[in-house]
Amino acid sequence: MSSTHTTSCIAKSTRGSVQRWSQTLIPTVRQAPSDAEMPSHVFMIRAGFIRQVGAGVYNYLPLAWRSLRKVSEIIREEMDAAGASELLMPAFQPMELYAGTKRDIDYGDLLFTLEDRHGRKLALGPTHEEVITDLMCGALTSYKQFPLNLYQIQTKFRDEFRPRAGLLRGREFIMKDAYSFHLDLDGDAGLNATYDKMHRAYTNIFTRCGLDFSAVEAEAGPIGGSASHEFMVNCEAGEDTILVCQESGYAANVEKAEIGERAWSFEVAADSELVKHHTPNMPGIHSVAEHLSTTPSGMLKSIVLRTTEESPRWVIAVVRGDHEVNESKVRDAIGCSVELADEGEAKAAGFVIGYVSPRVCSSIDLLLVVDPDALAGASWATGADEPDHHVTGFNWSRDMGDAIRGGKIQVADIRNAQGGDPSPRVAGSVLQERKGIEVGHIFKLGTKYSEAIGLDVLNKDQKKQSVIMGCYGIGVSRTLAACVEMSHDDNGIIWPAAIAPFHVHLVVIKPNEPEVQEAVSAMSDELAGHGIDVFIDDRAERPGPKFKDADLIGLPIRLTISPKTIEQGEVEFKLRSDDARGVGHPREAIVQMCLDALAP
């Protein structure tokens, strides 16, 4: 058994590690538990990487832990190279820390809370903005200390409404979170410079991990702040939708994606009568459209929203029936954040929920915001503002003339973009829709947390100034799952070399034969000497199960040694990504072949 002894305490060993199946725990199974559905979940269980403990809580078995450590190491190298330094904060967080930011309210039930024996309330950290900002209050004392970027790799806790798909969404998961501190937005020490550095570091990290990913513009969400980018692993099974303009390189999450100019006019002449129809018991826009002999794209959808101000106002957002209202865009259009109206309150105010039309603005005081696509037609089907009725033949110019002349209608991009929409950057180009799994997210926080918690320092001009912050997250355990989701076939996982638990899977046929054992030791020793991590399947199994398990585990290179190959002076070599069976090669050529195959 080779080891990684070094005589020096400063020289890092470049020797690869060698591990034998018989000495570790890799419980592969032919049949995954029936509750596993996503490929990453199924294969990580079948290949013996993880085992479930509870909903969204998993054991990371030796293979998974090796991969996680490799991902973490890549993250550390790139973060350190970008000028960040690692620290470790506790998972326990006193509830008082949330008093300033009120994020306990924003997070709500997502926050795991507990009480100690003295009745003090604690949270299990979902992220660490509060803790680190509080830490900095006592540690950042001079403008000369800026900029500063600190990170940690640590287990996070979120009581997800619905954990699922193995490591893709756990309640306990491993995350890298980084926080940067500045006094300026611009300049070498400013937030923008560090944000750009992090953007590059993330690009390096995910590239080195061997992932096919896209960096896209994103909504900041409850973390708060201004600019934000997400790093998405490109994968059809992803939960997130992103839109891409090939010509300009523009890419954004559907929550954020802008849509290019669309032609519209209030002055489209009516071409049919306004007719009322009885439409009882028709859930959903599709059944109504069918009953009215039209399609959702021939209908108007009027969503009742409420502003979140002290004295809330009603807002009606009108989009075409086949489009989705985007609340963030409505917020940007009217300059105030909104939320879906409570159904009871809306009914009490006179809205006939399910049958609302733009015409309701004549009877109720409200803000009317309309998407351009909802104006590009002469005749629409929409609600009749009375129970169980819709109208056809609605025409903006004829039926909303007063509101239009009164300037009561605001026209703005307020819907989610979708494939085929015009690009916001290049006229004539269209957006393409893709799916992705979010593995990283970077934010410009600004002063949200420093103001709430009171993190300020004296600047050069001896003026008190709130510290400007950025924060940068990577879902480490999710990255692993996303990688499997992105890279697998019917037989199992296909790991990129950089984050595979080992580089070489050495299948041993007849492991009890002395000459085989000798050949295996020599081979693995030589490979390890070149920095290659070798995994030896030394089990007393027949060849069939061994090959099946090798495919399942998915290490990049498979070598096979048997009495036959020894007799021929060969070792069989096969790449996991190749479908063909392995081919024998001269024993002396093998190490170089492995090195070539693993070269970046």
Partner RNA sequence: CAGGGUGUAGCUCAGCUUGGUAGAGCGUCUGGUUUGGGACCAGAAGGUCGCAGGUUCAAAUCCUGUCUCCCUGACCA
> 217 — phi, psi (to 5°)?
-70, 145
Q: Which C-beta is closer to RNA: that of 17 or that of 562?
A: 562
The 10 Å CB-count burial string (b at 16+, else e) for 526-560 is bbbeeebbbbbbbbebeeeebbebbbbbbbbbbbb
Torsion angle of the four alpha carbons 236, 239, 245, 248, in this order, in degrees rounded to the nearest 10: -110
CB of 170 to RNA, least distance (A): 5
Q: Which C-beta is closer to RNA: that of 432 or that of 491?
A: 491
Q: Which C-beta is closer to RNA: that of 381 or that of 481?
A: 481
Q: Which of helix, strand or coil describes residue 46? A: helix
Minimal CA–CA distance to 66: which of 502, 558, 554, 477? 502
For residues 520 and 526, what is the distance between their CA atoms, to the nearest angstrom?
10
For residues 188 and 178, what is the distance between their CA atoms, to the nearest angstrom?
19
Pairing of strands 409-411, 367-370: parallel
Q: Which two tokens stand for residue 139?
A: 């540690």
Percentage helix, strand, coil, to 5, in the chain? 30, 30, 40
- Chain Cα centroid distance, residue 114: 28
Q: Which C-beta is closer to RNA: that of 227 or that of 404?
A: 227
Pairing of strands 148-157, 464-466: unpaired
Q: Which C-beta is closer to RNA: that of 400 or that of 482?
A: 482
CB of 172 to RNA, least distance (A): 9
Q: Which C-beta is closer to RNA: that of 56 or that of 260?
A: 56
Interacting residues toward RNA by CB under 7 A: 28-35, 37-38, 46, 52, 54-56, 110, 158, 160-165, 169-170, 173, 175, 221-223, 230, 239-240, 438-441, 473-475, 477-478, 491, 509-510, 541-545, 547-552, 560, 562, 564-565, 572, 574, 581-582
For residues 443 and 225, what is the distance between their CA atoms, to the nearest angstrom?
7
For residues 470 and 153, what is the distance between their CA atoms, to the nearest angstrom?
17
Q: Which C-beta is closer to RNA: that of 182 or that of 441?
A: 441
Q: Which C-beta is closer to RNA: that of 52 or that of 397?
A: 52
Q: Which C-beta is closer to RNA: that of 38 or that of 137?
A: 38
CB of 25 to RNA, least distance (A): 13
For residues 491 and 49, what is the distance between their CA atoms, to the nearest angstrom?
15
Q: Which of helix, strand or coil describes residue 538? A: coil
Question: Is the Cβ–Cβ distance between 94 and 114 less than 8 Å?
Answer: no
CB of 579 to RNA, least distance (A): 9
CB of 488 to RNA, least distance (A): 14
Q: Which C-beta is closer to RNA: that of 390 or that of 488?
A: 488
In sequence order, what are the beta bridge partners of 180? 149, 470
CB of 564 to RNA, least distance (A): 5
Pairing of strands 275-278, 389-394: antiparallel
Q: Which two tokens stand for residue 404?
A: 């239009």
CB of 322 to RNA, least distance (A): 16
CB of 509 to RNA, least distance (A): 5
CB of 391 to RNA, least distance (A): 28
In sequence order, what are the beta bridge partners of 484? none
For residues 210 and 130, what is the distance between their CA atoms, to the nearest angstrom?
33
Minimal CA–CA distance to 316: which of 178, 181, 414? 414
CB of 411 to RNA, least distance (A): 24
For residues 226 and 334, what is the distance between their CA atoms, to the nearest angstrom?
17
Q: Which C-beta is closer to RNA: that of 133 or that of 565?
A: 565
CB of 288 to RNA, least distance (A): 20
CB of 176 to RNA, least distance (A): 9
Q: Which C-beta is closer to RNA: that of 33 or that of 401?
A: 33
- Long-range CB contact pairs, 25-32, < 8 A, 24+: 25/61, 25/62, 26/61, 26/62, 26/63, 26/553, 27/51, 27/61, 28/549, 28/552, 28/553
Q: Cα–Cα–Cα angle for 580, 583, 587, nearest 5°?
A: 150
For residues 87 and 530, what is the distance between their CA atoms, to the nearest angstrom?
32
Helices (H) and strands (E) in the chain, counts: 17, 32
CB of 583 to RNA, least distance (A): 9
For residues 78 and 574, what is the distance between their CA atoms, to the nearest angstrom?
32
Q: Which C-beta is closer to RNA: that of 169 or that of 306?
A: 169
Q: Which of helix, strand or coil describes residue 518? A: helix
Q: Which C-beta is closer to RNA: that of 165 or that of 251?
A: 165
CB of 215 to RNA, least distance (A): 12
